[in-house]
Every structure is written in structure tokens, then in C-alpha cells.
Structure 1
Amino acid sequence: MPSTEQDRERAQSIDSLRSIWAAGGQPQPVPPWYRRVTRRQAGATAACLAVLLLAYLAIRSVDSEVTQHRVALPTELAGLPRAAEDQDLRTLRSEYEAQQSRRYALRAVQVQGYGRPGATGLRESELLAVAMEGSFPDAAQAATAMLGGYSPTGGSLRDGTPVAGMQTYAPGPLGGTIACATVGEPDSASAVCAWADGSTLGALVDRTGELTAEQLADRTRQLRALTEQPA
């Protein structure tokens, strides 16, 4: 019975294998990917993994030394109830989240106004509070950056608003840093305080222009005591 084309190809394949065995060789399987990597490539990969591991352990070490808090702005501050939210407050919250997330790993951002009973939105708020939850390794730098960054001759916010008279105040039992300054033109300047510790960052703005920086620092300590909760 005549052989088919398939039979001939099979016979040739068998003959090829027999010739390899006859020559003392063995057909070799394709090595797995990890056996095709050169020693130099393996060394470079191991070095990268070691660097990443050390960075991860360093971050975990810093975080483990920081008392972790979550933020929850109170319903009332200094006798002023929370103002009803409006679009201005929502926009301000979005702006803080967008700006600060470029610097820090944020977990939560809250913005709230406080005013007379029935007050609505940013315009009717006498105090404006901002509280963020995340990782802020350098408390002093984070707090002063909220006020445009420290400068002995005065500085400005991102939009060019003048900042003058920045100084730090006692942070209270929660630790970290509180920095306060007057923000705005001389005829309309208001006190603003910012605080930071390892896990929270925030600010308190006196929109009435009636409080001194020292008075607002005291309000900021009160705000922190009400806002920072054990994680």
C-alpha cells in the first residue's frame, strides 16, 4: 500500500531524531525564561528589588513611628455652627485636593465653613476650616507650605496674595507644628493658621479679620482637639 505524504514526513522526523542520538546528542527543550536571563540582567534586577525593598521599609518605619489620626471636622467651632455647604465650598475642597495630592498621599480632604445660625456657604462663614488626612513626614515644612512657605521677608500664596508675619506657635498635646501669618493686603489682611503632624494637615482662616494670629492659634488647637480622632 503506497505511503502517504504524512507518513513520509513522520519517517523523516524519526530519522532526524535517530541521527541526533547516533551523534551522541540529545534533543534539548526550550529553556524557561529565567534561565535565558544573563548574569548582568539578573544582578541589575536584584539591585532594583533591593532598593525598592529598602524604600518600602523606610516608609513603613516612618509611618510606624507616627501616631495615626483620622480627621472629622466638628459640627460646631468656637460657638459657631457649621454653615450649609454651597458650590464655593465644594470648589475649594476640590482645589485643595488637587493641589495637595501632588505633594502628599492623601486619604481624605474636608473643607467646612462656620458662621452664625442659618449661615450658608463660604461667603457667610466667619471661620473656614480645612482638614486633610494622609502622610506628612515633615510637619514644619507642610504647615508653612500651606501659607506659601517660610520667608524671613514675607512671602505669598500661589495666587500672589501677600503673606506676612509668619511665626510658629505651641502645637498643643497633639504635637506637630502650628504656623500662623497674616494673609492679604494690609487694609484687608486676615489671620490664617496651618497645622501639620505625621498624619494630618489643615488650616483655619479668620474671615472676619478680627482675630490676631495668637488668638487664631488658640482656635486652631481647639479645632485639632475636635477634629483629630484616633485612627
Structure 2
Amino acid sequence: MTDSARPADATPDQIPAPAAPAPSGLQAIWANTAQPVAPLPWYRRVSRRALVTGAVAVGLLTVLAVGMASIDGGPAPRKALTLPDTLGTSVRLPDDPLVESTRADYPVRTLRPRFKESAVARYGAAGSTNTELIVIGLSGAADPKGEAARFFARADRGSVMQQTVTDLEDYPAGPLGGDLQCAQLTYSVGSETACVWSGADVVGIVVDKTGKSTPEALAARTVDIRAAAEPGR
């Protein structure tokens, strides 16, 4: 009631009180029920847009976590392979383009690395620059047997040098266990002998670049090389 609508002689107790505001939210719900109503759960109070945004954020964090785990390559190897300075009568020679190109074939800084660490070295007679052996060590391998199979399959695919794999056989792996395979790699201009051992999380590849070793002889030498490269494992 406005001042113009009030009687001129109206007393204070005759003036009606202002109307109360209409109830809203839970008050409106309780006003229409005989018993009090419990508050709405949190997911009923949050808008659908907020729920969708939260779900997307959780999904992105999960993808990032999986990606980082893939880049990191998983848990560290029990102990990395160490290529020694001497192997019997052969000594480790300085790196050359062959070592560098071989090392590039086994990268560890990839989106989904197959192994945690890699090492490549070449060996020959003391005072010589001629490579007799190439040794490759892969540590923290996710699939050691798969790496061994991949090596021989790659050699047998017929690259520019047209190598083929013959006489591929299993040999005793020695006291460290695992698997050992050796074969002859034949090229159009010569041949090499190669052995690959695989253990719980390691792979070792030994290639006789001279091709003078038989698979049986290189298998025996590979067992000794492995013992030197995996001390304390």
C-alpha cells in the first residue's frame, strides 16, 4: 500500500507489514512438502557443463600420464650392460662411422622406446684399426626375445647389401640362462657371423665382421662376452 492509498488517519498498528519475499531453492521445496527434504547431492547441484569439463580434464591428465610413461620407457633395468675394454685378445677400438651408424639403429629417445639403454662398441687386435667384432648391448628391453627375432628378421629382409640369414640355430646360453641364437649372414660380397643372447630384460648382439667364426665358435665366445658385459646380474 502506497502512502497515497493509506487513510489519512491510519494509526501505525493499522498499517500492514511489507509482504515477505517468495521462498526459493530448498525453502520453496520445503514449503510444498509435509516433511523436510534432504539437500540435493553435489552432482545434482553441479551443472552439466561443469561435469563435462571435469571429465575432459581427467581424461587429458590420464593421456598425459600414459604418454610420459611411454616416453620414459617404464621401470629402469636391473643393471645396464657394460661393454668392457677388452674381450679376450681383442681390445675396444675408438668409435668410427660404423659404430655411429649402428648406434643410430638402436635409439632410446623415441616416443615408445623398446629398451631403456643401448651401448655399441667395436673390437679388434691391439694396435690395429680393423674391426673384428661389433657388440651391441640393450638394457631394460621390454621384449628381449622379440628384439632377437627382429635382428635376424631385419637381416633377412634383403637390404641394399642383400644379406640373407642361414644356419640359424639355438645354442646353450650359459650360466646366465635365457636364449642364444647364432647364424651366418651372407652378402653378395662376403659374410658375417652373428649371435644374439636375450635374458630377463637385456639383449646382446655380437657380430663377427670378418666372417671367419663359425656359428658354433661365436656362440661359445658370446657366452664369455655376456659374462663380461653382465657382471653381478
Note whether the superposition's TM-score is higher than 0.5: yes
For 2:99, the equivalent position in structure 1 comes to 89
Provide the aligned C-alpha RMSD in A. 3.6
> What are the residue-to-residue correspondences of 1:80-229 with 2, within 5 Å?
80-97=90-107, 104=114, 106-119=115-128, 124-136=130-142, 139=145, 141-148=146-153, 156-157=156-157, 159=159, 160-185=162-187, 188-229=190-231
- Distance (whole Å) between structure 1 residues aligned to residue 98 and residue 37 of structure 2: 77
The answer to whether the 8 Å contact 2:78/2:140 transfers is no
Structure 1 match to 2:85: 75
What is the number of residues matched between the two proteins? Answer: 182
**Aligned amino acid, residue 151 of structure 2:** M
Q: For the Cα contact (< 8 Å) 2:167–2:184, is it kept in 1? A: yes
CA distance change for structure 1 residues 19 and 147 in 2, over 3 Å: closer, same or farther? closer
Q: Report if the CA contact (8 A) 2:144-2:201 is conserved.
A: no
In structure 2, what is the equivalent of residue 48 of structure 1?
none
Asked which structure has the greater RCO (Cα within 8 Å, sep 6+), the reply is: 1
- Hey, which of these two has a bigger chunk of helix by percent? 1
| Conserved 8 A contact 2:191-2:210 | no
Change (3 A) 1:103 1:166: farther
**Unaligned segments of structure 2, at least 5 residues:** 3-19, 52-74
Aligned to 2:23: 15
What's the TM-score, normalizing by structure 2? 0.64
The within-5 A match list for 1:26-45 is 26=37, 28-29=39-40, 31-32=42-43
Q: What fraction of aligned residue pairs are identical, expressed as a percent?
A: 27
The structure-2 alpha-carbon separation of the partners of 1:137 and 1:230, relative to structure 1 and needing over 3 Å to count, comes to farther
Consecutive unaligned residues of structure 1, counting only runs of 5 or more, are: 3-10, 38-62, 150-154
TM-score relative to the length of structure 1: 0.65
